[in-house]
Amino acid sequence: MTRLYLPATLHLLAKLDQVGSIPVGEDVVVASDDSEDAEYDALMTAAETSGLLARELEAGERRRVVIVAEVAEVSVPPANVALTEVVAVHADADDVPVDADPDELEDLCWYATQEIRDLLQA
């Protein structure tokens, strides 16, 4: 299995919840190995890209979101990721200021897949 870190927005997460899958973009991040440090680096790289996406959104929607999925190594990265392949979501608790320094932001919160709808309603 390969773990993918997909930079996202709340809108993309809502699409995943509604449709059941989302396309994998070129900005997907794959950890260099299975170590905790490599996975953290992949998460933070995806979060930084997500922050750039969030800057373009309206207030109330500017949260970094990283969707973490585990996929078979048949096609890495795959064209789409299904909701059933998602193992967790990481997101900011609140909006991120447009001019925020990524090094000064709080850590992302961890959400289990069954908490996705609660996150979208928060």
Question: What digits encode the pLDDT tens for the residues 4-28?
Answer: 999 999 999 999 999 999 999 889 9
Reported as a pLDDT band with limits 50, 70 and 90, residue 76 is low
- State residue 104's pLDDT score: 83
pTM above 0.75, yes or no: yes
Who contacts 67 (Cβ-Cβ below 8 Å, separation ≥6)?
A: 5, 6, 8, 12, 13, 16, 22, 81, 86, 89
- State residue 36's pLDDT score: 92
Who contacts 68 (Cβ-Cβ below 8 Å, separation ≥6)?
A: 3, 4, 5, 6, 43, 86, 87, 88, 89, 90
| The dihedral formed by the CA atoms of 43, 47, 48 and 54, expressed in degrees to the nearest 10 | 170
Per-domain residue ranges of the chain: 2-121
Region 106-111: what's the mean pLDDT? 92
